[in-house]
Amino acid sequence: MTMSGLIAAHSKDPAFSSFYNRISQRGSKMKAVIACAHKILRIIYKLLSTKQTYQKEKALGLRKQF
């Protein structure tokens, strides 16, 4: 699971790369990788329990502007 956190941290997806950068600045890089892996697990659990699909806007915390 930590490999998925490491790959997500260095991906082009801003949801995970910005999260990784924010955590790694205030602590060790390995803790940031574990935090990314934990975030992935929480997202997967939520998606499976509610039977929803992954939406990048929700992962980024963005809201649609009308």
24 lies in a domain?
yes
32 lies in a domain?
yes
Number of separate domains in the chain: 1
65 lies in a domain?
no
64 lies in a domain?
no
Instruction: Report pLDDT for 66.
Output: 47
40 lies in a domain?
yes
63 lies in a domain?
no
Look at residue 54 and give its three-state secondary structure.
coil
With 0.85 as the threshold, say if the pTM is over it.
no
Domain of 52, in residue numbers: 2-58
Instruction: Report pLDDT for 61.
Output: 65
The residue type found at 59 is A
Q: 4-52 pLDDT, tens per residue?
A: 776 777 777 777 788 888 888 988 888 888 888 888 888 888 889 988 8
18 lies in a domain?
yes
Angle between helix axes 14-26 and 2-9 (nearest 10 degrees) is 100
Instruction: Report pLDDT for 62.
Output: 54
Instruction: Report pLDDT for 63.
Output: 54
